[in-house]
Structure 1
Amino acid sequence: MDELIQQLTAKLGIDESVAQAATGKAMAMVKANVGEDLFSKISSAVPGASDVADAGAEEALPSEGGGGMLGSLAGMASKALGGSAGSGLELGAALGDAGLPTDQMGSFVSTIVEFLKDKVGDEVMDQVLAKFPMLKTLIG
């Protein structure tokens, strides 16, 4: 995961602590949305992915009362349209809570998707995106 953090800080010019916090939240949401079986393929190919996801899980989802306006919108979208419909907004809110500027979310998610694709291959990433299609909503 250190390699990914280095890519994020270099490409986006963000602080390492922001990159780590946002990556933890993003990986926790990936794990929650794709399931343990599929996530195990990621954690096998990317040492430390499971630990990062577990650490990020504590704060990955904004609470109903927290997360600001974006968190509130995510909660409403999930309730109105089904759980996965609000996942893109929930991820956006979680990344914002980690300190990632809104205008960098697309590049952040794109970098993570490309990094994972390099590690696990196109087939596994296609399965990930099929189970968590809202990832695509944040890719700029």
Structure 2
Amino acid sequence: MDELVDQLAVKVGIDKAVAEKTVGMILGFLRTEGPSEQVSALIEKIPGAEAAIASTSGGGGFASLMGGGLMALGSKLMGLGLGMNDIQEVARELFKFGRTKIGADDMEKIIAGTPGLSQFA
């Protein structure tokens, strides 16, 4: 997890704490919305991913009333101070990192199998 957080902080130019929360939120979203076999494999390959997901999956609130999904994730990420360009860069870096961990084929299955995600690939 530290490797990914450091990479995001440098390449996207965001604070490490924000990068960690962002990764937790995105992985939590993928766990809920994506193909479970590939997402589980990705999460298992990132030390600290479970803790990051757990620390960001709280209370539901307005996003859960809106049905969650990609729009709710975007709202949460913007709530951390990320702009649309930042979110796209984070997603691309996360996908690139994922390819090194579980392979390009499985990462592409996650992207294709998660509603709305292909626009960030």
Unaligned runs of 5+ in 1: 67-74, 79-85
* Count of equivalent residues: 121
User: What TM-score do you get using the length of structure 2 for normalisation?
Assistant: 0.83
Unaligned runs of 5+ in 2: none
Shift of 1:36: 4.2
Shift of 1:65: 8.7
Shift of 1:132: 0.7
Determine which structure has more spread, i.e. the larger CA radius of gyration.
1
What RMSD, in angstroms, separates the aligned Cα atoms of the two structures? Answer: 2.4
Shift of 1:117: 1.0
Partner of 1:83: none
Larger RCO, structures 1/2 (Cα 8 Å, 6+ apart): 2
% identity of equivalent residues: 25
The change in CA–CA distance for 1:36 and 1:55 in structure 2 (over 3 A counts) is: farther
Q: Contact conserved, 2:33 with 2:115, CA < 8 A, in 1?
A: no
In structure 2, C-alpha distance between the alignment counterparts of 1:20 and 1:63, rounded to whole Å: 22
1:94 to 68, 76, 82: 76
CA displacement, residues 75-120 of structure 1 (integer Å, 9 cap, x when unaligned): 3xx6xxxxxxx73322211211222223311111111111111111
User: What TM-score do you get using the length of structure 1 for normalisation?
Assistant: 0.73
The change in CA–CA distance for 1:62 and 1:26 in structure 2 (over 3 A counts) is: farther
